[in-house]
Amino acid sequence: MTTMRFFVIGSWTEGMLHFQKLRPFIVSYEKATIRGQVYRLPAGFPVIVQEGDDEIVGQLVELKHDDALVALMDAFHGVHASDPAKGLHKRETIQIQKSSGDSEEAQIYIYNPKKLTAKAQKIAGTVWQDLMKLEPPMSEQLTERQKLYVMKLGAAKGRDIIPIDDLTLYRELMKLELIVDKGRRLALSSLGKEVYNHLI
């Protein structure tokens, strides 16, 4: 059986949302570390950038090789195949350190530092799990009606108009900076799109 290895943090690690979606493909997983820098995005999820020499604790996940799965993971991470510099992440192969002490190659999604906003918070590579427990990601803090509207807006095509009849809901989503009012229609903000990606 052909397999592929990914070093992951955040929602792709054991017990988290995207790890569960990977479950049918997982052959094995274990603790591993790399060197780099972690930022926590405004939506509450950690990402890895290559600057810095901090120890980042994550997991090495071995998956059954599946081109369709890689394509879905690339799409989720906003990888731009023809021009990596334009993408949200780029997928690279790096050396990781397994908990056994052995070194091994794995693929990793590296966040584009040009896409970091002033609200992104630099954090130690060993504390992202604790921070996610203390301050859950925004997608986990939303009420069911907030989630439902974000999902509807995120699934809208082209210039579809998704009405919002509840003024309180409108104010809540505007205060959270998840939506923007374009006059005749509402749309997800950049933050809203990030949260939407973690709801689907």
Q: What is the pLDDT of residues 168-181, one digit of tens each?
A: 998 999 999 998 88
Quick check: 194 pLDDT over 90? no
What pLDDT is stored for residue 200 in this prediction? 73
- Rounded to whole angstroms, the Cα distance separating 133 from 189 reads 25
57 in the same domain as 128: yes
State the total domains in the chain: 2
Cβ atoms 157, 164 nearer than 8 A: no
151 in the same domain as 119: no
75 in the same domain as 147: no
- Rounded to whole angstroms, the Cα distance separating 145 from 151 reads 10
96 in the same domain as 75: yes
Nearest 5°: phi and psi at 172? -60, -45
- Rounded to whole angstroms, the Cα distance separating 160 from 30 reads 44
What pLDDT is stored for residue 24 in this prediction? 92
Question: Model's pTM, two decimal places?
Answer: 0.85
- Per-residue model confidence as pLDDT tens digits over 130-153: 888 888 898 888 999 999 999 998
- Per-residue model confidence as pLDDT tens digits over 59-96: 999 999 999 999 999 998 999 988 888 899 999 999 99
23 in the same domain as 111: yes
Tell which residue, 73, 13, 104, 101, has the closest CA to residue 197: 73
90 in the same domain as 51: yes
150 in the same domain as 61: no
Q: Indicate the residue among 134, 160, 186 that finishes a domain.
A: 134
67 in the same domain as 39: yes
104 in the same domain as 87: yes
- Domain containing 63: what range? 3-134
- Rounded to whole angstroms, the Cα distance separating 192 from 186 reads 11
